[in-house]
Chains A and B, each alone.
Chain A
Amino acid sequence: MAVRANPNLIDELEHYGAHDASKCYQCGNCSAVCTHSVEPYVFPRKSMHYLQMGLERPLRSSLDPWLCYYCGECSEQCPRGAEPGETMMGLRRWLIAQYDFTGISRFLYRSGVNALLAVLLLALLTGLGFLAFGFLAGGGSLAVYDGAAAFLPAHYVHIFDWTMGITLALLLGINSVRMWHFTMHGEHEIPVPLSVYLRRVMLLPVHFFTQKKFKECKNQRPWALHLMLMLSYTTMLILIMFFLKFMQAGPQMNWYAHTFGYLASIGLVTTVTLAVSGRLKKDETYHRYSHESDWIFLALLLYVSITGILQHILHRAGLPMAANLTYVAHLMGVVPMLVLEVPFGKWSHLAYRPLAIYLARVRKDALAIQTRTIKTQSATTLGAPAPASPAV
Chain B
Amino acid sequence: MSEPTMTGTEKNDKQPENARRRVGVYLLHAAGNQASAESCRSIAEYLTKELGVAVARTLAVSSLLDQAELARELQTAKLDTVVLASEHPGLYKAAFARAVGKAELRLVALGERVDAELEQAKAMVAAAVQGVPFRVPLESQPTSFNPATLVIGGGVAGIQAALEIAESGNKVYLLERTGTIGGRMAMFDKTFPTLDCAACILTPKMVAVGQSPNIELMVLSEVQEVTGSAGAFKVKVLKHATRIDASACVACGDCARFCPVSVASEFDMGIASRKGIFIPFPQAVPNAYMIDPAYCTWVQSGGKKCGACAKKCSKGAVHLDAQDETVEIEVGNIIVSTGYDMLDAGRIERYGYGKHPNVLTSLEFERLSNASGPTGGKIVLKTLQMNKRTKKEEWVFEPDGPKPKAVAIVHCVGSRDQNYNAYCSRVCCMYSLKFAHLVREKLPDAKCYEYYIDMRAFGKGYEEFHERIRGEGVSLVRGRSAQVEERDSQLYIKGEDVNSGHLIELPVDMVLLSVGLQPSHGAAELSEKLGIRLDGDGWFQESDYNGEPNSTGRKGIYLAGVCQGPKDIPDTVAQASAAAAHALRSIVGATHKQDEAGVPPVSAEKTASLSAQS
Contact = CB atoms under 8 A, between A and B. Distances in A.
Nearest to B421: A79
Interface in B474-500: 479-483, 494-498
Contact of A26 (B418, B481, B498): B498
Contact of B482 (A25, A33, A39, A80): A33
A28 B498 contact: yes
Given A27-B479, A77-B419, A79-B416, A32 B453 contact: no
B454 interface: yes
Contact of B418 (A33, A39, A79): A79
A46 interface: yes
A289 to B, nearest CB: 17
Given A27-B453, A33-B350, A46 B501 contact: yes
Contacts of A27: 412, 453, 479-480, 498
Interface residues of B, number: 21
A317 interface: no
Contact of B496 (A31, A77, A81): A31
Contacts of B419: 77, 79
B506 to A, nearest CB: 12
A298 B67 CA distance: 58
B501 A79 contact: no
A16 B416 CA distance: 28
Interface of B: 350, 412, 416-419, 453-454, 479-483, 494-498, 501-503
A25 B501 CA distance: 14
24 contacts: A25-B454, A26-B453, A26-B498, A27-B479, A27-B480, A28-B479, A28-B495, A29-B480, A29-B482, A31-B482, A32-B481, A32-B494, A32-B495, A32-B503, A33-B482, A33-B483, A39-B502, A39-B503, A45-B498, A46-B501, A79-B416, A79-B418, A80-B417, A80-B418
Nearest to B415: A79
Contacts of A42: 496, 501-503
- Chain A to chain B: the 3 pairs with minimum beta-carbon distance, closest first: A28-B496, A32-B482, A79-B417
Contacts of A79: 412, 416-419, 480
A37 interface: yes
A386 interface: no
Interface string A59-90: 00000000000000000010111000000000
A38 interface: yes
B417 A38 contact: no
Nearest to A76: B419
Nearest to A39: B503
Describe A's contact surface by its main secondary structure. Answer: loop
Interface in A9-49: 25-29, 31-33, 37-39, 42, 45-46
Given A29-B495, A42-B496, A79-B419, 9 more contacts: A26-B498, A29-B482, A29-B496, A32-B496, A39-B502, A39-B503, A45-B496, A45-B498, A77-B419
A307 B481 CA distance: 52
A37 B503 contact: yes
A301 to B, nearest CB: 35
A81 B418 CA distance: 7
B515 to A, nearest CB: 14
A32 B505 CA distance: 10
Contacts of A81: 418
Interface in A202-255: none
Nearest to B419: A79
A25 B453 CA distance: 8
Contacts of B483: 32-33
Contact of B480 (A28, A39, A46): A28
Contacts of A28: 479-480, 482, 495-498
Interface in A158-192: none
Nearest to A42: B503
A199 to B, nearest CB: 26
Nearest to B505: A32
Contacts of A39: 502-503
A46 B496 CA distance: 10
A27 B451 CA distance: 10
Contacts of B494: 32
Contacts of A25: 416, 453-454
Contacts of B479: 27-28, 32
A123 to B, nearest CB: 44
Contacts of B454: 25
A38 B130 CA distance: 79
Contacts of A38: 503
A176 B454 CA distance: 40
Nearest to B503: A42
A33 B498 CA distance: 14
B64 to A, nearest CB: 27
B399 to A, nearest CB: 35
A92 B498 CA distance: 23
Nearest to A81: B418
Contacts of B496: 28-29, 31-32, 42, 45
A315 to B, nearest CB: 55
A26 B499 CA distance: 10
B6 to A, nearest CB: 65
Most buried by B among A39, A42, A46, A80: A42
A60 B479 CA distance: 25
Interface string A132-176: 000000000000000000000000000000000000000000000
A151 to B, nearest CB: 60
Nearest to A40: B502
Contacts of B497: 28
Contacts of A77: 350, 419, 482
A109 B106 CA distance: 64
Nearest to B482: A32
Contacts of B502: 39, 42
Contacts of A26: 453, 498
Contacts of B416: 25, 79
